Structure 1
Amino acid sequence: MVKLRSTSEPFRMVRHVVWWSFLVLPVAVSVGIMVAVFLWLLEQATQLRHAQMWLIWLLPLAGVGIYALYHYWGQNSEAGNNLIMDEIHEPGGGIPFRMAPLVLLTTVLTHLFGGSAGREGTAVQMGGSVAEYIGKRLGLTRADQRILLMSGMAAGFGAVFGTPVTGAIFALEVLAVGRIKYDALLPCLIASLLADVTCNAFPIHHTEYTIAYSAKAALGYFSLDLVLLLKIMIAGACFGLASYAFAELSHWLKSTSHALISRKWLIPVLGGGLVLGISGIIGSYDYLGLGVRSPDPEGVSIVSAFSAGGADPFSWFWKLVLTAITLSLGFKGGEVTPLFFIGATLGNSLAMLSGAPVDLFAGLGFIAVFAGATNTPIACTLMGIELFGAENTVYFAVACFMAYYFSGHTGIYQSQRVAVSKFHTTESNESTLKEIKSARRRYGRGQEPE
């Protein structure tokens, strides 16, 4: 049993809060400013591409430029979010400060020329890079450096989506499947809040989403529609399977292209060509870029998915394929906003098929596919509350938890560790998702490392 000295404990608590507020302040403010600049540049690039659609035909050439930047200047920045996770788990070569401007520039280039990508990966990498730089300058211990890195991740995520509570929990939850270590809870929350406040101090506006459907209260208690709940459970399983498909396709494309193509600069050329070719075949460019809004009033986007008829039955599939190609074959950006698109459009299709509320299912897919792909069901449930309000919290949780389970032991971050198996009650040996995938190849699909 741990004995606490009651007279000294309050002073230690106050000192802890003051100390970490001081440490995360420069990280949070710096990241908030960088995210604001990044979001502004992203908006300018998107508007320019919409006005000058001929730019998309330069996507393969832009891919070669991105490859060159990372090849000659990137050092180990190519690993992206996985590098930050590896540094938190086992400090090694460090995170180069050049990661921040490099990923910002290359993500904007990807969006300018029509790559199907997101923005969270860029924000998180900027946060990790800044935190590493400041931590080294302050001469922090390894333990404190680890917490500061997590705070940088929280700051980037919270600021880029305007969801500070989600940002804090995401940074804690994403490191290991089935386990949250709360030693960095307060620093992550402070960093995420400060970064979001800093970002909002600039003329940056986050997209607002609305779910009109609301679970009605009866006699002061939450009243569940059991038929609707069953539909949500089935939809949650579908969201999880979509997460699984996206992660597996992304990893397969990356490993296969690197194994078959010896001249690595040709990989983004192939990727850009495939994105343009598939878009031409299906006759739509709605799946390029972020996909939050479409310049065509009849086009498919995340916003349109919240309305009946706002998505085609296979909209989610095309976004899944094009994003996997873009991010696996040499281009930069995040996966999360495309996952929002995949989830919202899949939710729209499932709602139309089952007769469920379209806006509710679009919102559930929005957060649940993300939950399955990142193995962060708690953070995504909170994201639903921050973005859509608390009226449908139970439905948010059911969809996210079902998606988390049905996505299996896979995910978009290969350095994520499995602390507790989804299918067993025993602790795992802290294998990474990459190691589990390798074990499946050796021992047969469905078996986990012992």
Structure 2
Amino acid sequence: MERIKNKFWGPTVRDRHLTFITTLGKWVLWGSIIGILVGTTSALLINLNDFLTDVREANHFSLFFLPLGGIVIGYIYMYYGKGSRKGNDLIIEHVHHGQGKIPLRMGPIVFVCTFITHLLGGSTGREGAAIQMGASISEGVNRFFNVAEIDRRILIISGISGGFGSAFGAPLAGTIFGMEAIVIGKTKYEAFIPCFVASFIGHFVATAWGIHHDEFIIQNIPDINTVNLMKVIILSIIFGFTSVLYSQLRHEIKRLSDKYLKNLMLRAFVGGIIIITLTYLIGSRDYLGRGLPMVERAFTGDVPPFAFLAKIIFTAITMGTGFRGGEVIPLFFIGSTLGNTLSPIMALPASFLAALGMIAILSGAANTPISAFIFSVEMFKGEGITFFFMACLISFIFSGHHGIYGAQKIYDPKSRMLNLVPGETINAIEDNKKVQP
């Protein structure tokens, strides 16, 4: 009789309960392992990154070795990368198609190349390295436990969450970021449990290793009224367009590098020369490395009016010519300094607009409005949530089909106003624009 029920009516209640318990148990176990390993590597990444930044700032001559460092990075990826040169886009493509395997060497390679970049003055952050290390660790868990195909992509997504949550001390945002950054218009909620576990455990493990994340304080929150709401709408549109400017410049530099500088060593060497030249033309080293001191200044005082534009150029060249790191902290720099610049024009507090710019540009550039909003809640203790919610959504809409992750697939266009075909990636849409008359 039991067999007849199974055949005609599907799994029994007992079978469903057993499947639920075993699947939940596996996800919690795998997410915990990923979180512990990712949190540890993120702690090492952050500590060494801070140390190397101090070394660079104490030894200004190190900048002159940036082109040589670029040669080393290019050599590593040319002869040992095995496809990992695509970085975050490789991870996103793997989640989309599930073909092949993520190279386990991706994590160690990006780890080393990020340190070279930061030590010698490249304008990058760290989340790219943390995400790639998380995906590499997840791939290792997949192989060790011989995880079934149905769960392999879920664990890769949880590695992304663990990397983001542990790198920024934002476990809630990290949980959603892994699920949201893969596809525009669709969030893979099936991955929620392992993403949640990996992000939170990764964060707690990094904290246990003594990591203290940067904190920025909003000194004044404006009142919610019609005038201020209209100002925030206008500002959010500006931040959205600024995220497009950075994304497009970064991708265009990479496209030109792919076309004219096919040798990765030569490409990064040229990029290093350009960064050195720009540094001495501007007469400031504020745009090298992560630039966190400038972000702090944006919250407490005045910054150069075009600091955001300089950081856009420095970071786009650094990333577009093959150096390694991340783009979230540079986006924070761009957003906070632009907000500070617009503060007297819009008659709103500088620290508030610095915070709003950080979050809005992250939302537009990464196409992750929910994660960005939750990040604002975690970073700024829930202050000004109405403004941040508006800014995230508006910047996301006005950034269109652009973004820093070219392999992001558009499951559903953000709006029918954009007149886009579902199912295409950002890269594919850009390529189609270039060939159309």
The TM-score with structure 2 as length reference comes to 0.94
Root-mean-square deviation (Å):
1.8
Give 2:218's aligned residue: 211
- The residue type equivalent to 1:163 in the other structure is A
2:352 corresponds to: 360
> Match of 1:269?
269
After superposition, what is the alpha-carbon deviation per residue over 1:210-234, rounded to whole angstroms, capped at 9, x for unaligned? Answer: 1122366xxxxxxx22211111111
Q: Distance in 2 between matches of 1:169 and 1:423?
A: 21
User: What's 1:447 paired with?
Assistant: none
Match of 1:100 among 107, 111, 114: 107
State the alpha-carbon separation in 2 of the partners of residues 232 and 427 from structure 1: 27
- Deviation at residue 427 of structure 1 after TM alignment: 8.7
Indicate if the aligned counterparts of 2:78 and 2:264 stay in contact, CA closer than 8 A.
no
In the aligned structure 2, how far is the partner of 1:312 from the partner of 1:126? 35
**Structure 2 counterpart SS, 1:265:** helix
Letter of the 2:229 counterpart: L
Distance 1:418 1:143 in 2: 22
Partner deviation per Cα, 1:382-418 (whole Å, 9 max, x = no partner): 0000000112111111111111111111111111000
Once the two structures are superposed, residues 99-135 of structure 1 have per-residue CA deviations (whole angstroms, 9 ceiling, x without a partner) of 1111011001100000000100000000000101110
Match of 1:19 in 2: 26
Q: 1:215, 1:391 within 8 Å by CA — same for their partners in 2?
A: no
- Confirm or deny: 8 A CA contact 2:216 2:380 kept in the other structure: yes
Deviations, residues 326-371 of structure 1 (Å, cap 9, x unaligned):
0000210111110010000011111122111111110011111111
1:284 aligns with 2:284: yes
Query: Corresponding residue for 2:384?
Result: 392
Distance 1:384 1:48 in 2: 31
Counterpart Cα distance in 2 of 1:402 and 1:429? 21
Alignment partner for residue 405 of structure 1, among 392, 397, 405? 397
Aligned to 1:38: 45
Deviation at 1:3, TM superposition (A): 10
8 Å Cα contact 2:73/2:265 also seen in 1: no
Counterpart mapping for 1:344-383 below 5 A: 344-383=336-375
Partner of 2:72: 65
Is contact 2:56–2:62 with CA below 8 Å preserved after alignment? yes
Find the aligned partners of 1:352 and 1:273 in 2 and give their Cα distance.
36
1:7 deviates by 6.9
* 1:298 matched residue in structure 2: none
The separation in 2 between residues aligned to 1:306 and 1:12, in whole angstroms, is 51
Residue in 1 that maps onto 2:4? none
Q: Return the structure number with greater helix share.
A: 2
Give the 3-state SS of the residue equivalent to 2:49 in structure 1: helix
Taking the aligned partners of 1:237 and 1:273, their CA distance within structure 2 comes to: 34
Unpaired segments ≥5 residues, structure 1: 217-223, 294-300, 445-450
Asked if structure 2 preserves the Cα contact closer than 8 Å seen for 1:347 and 1:361, the reply is: yes
Question: Is structure 2 residue 191 aligned with structure 1 residue 199?
Answer: no
1:306 matched to 2:313? The reply is no
Letter of the aligned partner of 1:162 in structure 2?
G
Distance 2:150 2:277 in 1: 48
Aligned to 1:165: 172
Once the two structures are superposed, residues 268-312 of structure 1 have per-residue CA deviations (whole angstroms, 9 ceiling, x without a partner) of 11111111111111111000001112xxxxxxx111111231x11
- Distance in 2 separating the partners of 1:376 and 1:395: 17
Q: Are residues 1:188 and 2:180 paired?
A: no
- What TM-score comes out, normalization by structure 1 length? 0.92
1:179 CA displacement? 1.3
Amino acid across the alignment from 1:67 = G
Unaligned runs of 5+ in 2: 1-8
Displacement, 1:262? 4.5
Cα offset, 1:242, TM superposition: 0.8
Q: CA offset at residue 5 of structure 1?
A: 7.1
Post-superposition offset of 1:10: 5.8
Once residues 304 and 236 of structure 2 are traced to their aligned partners in structure 1, the CA distance between those partners, rounded to angstroms, is 19
In 1, Cα distance between equivalents of 2:11 and 2:376:
38
Structure 1 187/35 Cα, relative in aligned 2: closer, same or farther at 3 Å?
same
CA distance in 2, matches of 1:5, 1:354: 63
1:219 is aligned to none
User: Partners of 1:366 and 1:265 in 2: how far apart?
Assistant: 33
Shift of 1:173: 0.7
Aligned residue type for 2:100: G
The answer to whether the 8 Å contact 2:75/2:264 transfers is no
Assess if the C-alpha contact under 8 Å between 1:419 and 1:427 holds in 2. no
* Shift in alpha-carbon separation, 1:331–1:437, aligned structure 2, 3 A: same
Q: Tell me the residue number matched to 1:230.
A: 230
Structure 1 residue 53 and structure 2 residue 60: aligned? yes
Note the C-alpha offset of 1:14. Answer: 4.0
Q: For residue 429 of structure 1, report the CA deviation from its aligned partner.
A: 3.3
Aligned mates of 1:319, 1:339 — CA distance in 2? 9
Correspondence for 1:242: 242
Return the alpha-carbon distance in structure 2 between the equivalents of residues 41 and 6 of structure 1: 52
Percent of pairs with identical residues: 36
Runs of 4+, deviation exceeding 3 Å: 2-16, 425-429
> Counterpart of 2:430?
437
The letter of the residue matching 1:406 is: F
User: Deviation per CA, 1:242-263, whole angstroms, max 9, x where unpaired?
Assistant: 1101111011111112212344
Distance 1:99 1:338 in 2: 22
Give the alignment partner of residue 91 of structure 1, picking from 76, 90, 98. 98
Q: CA deviation at 1:198?
A: 0.6
Q: State the alpha-carbon separation in 2 of the partners of residues 183 and 11 from structure 1.
A: 18
Deviates more, 1:110-119 or 1:435-444: 435-444
Contact 2:222–2:228 (8 Å) recurs in 1: no
Q: Answer yes or no: is the 8 Å Cα contact 1:308–1:352 preserved in 2.
A: no
Letter in 2 for 1:205: H
1:239 Cα deviation after fit: 0.7
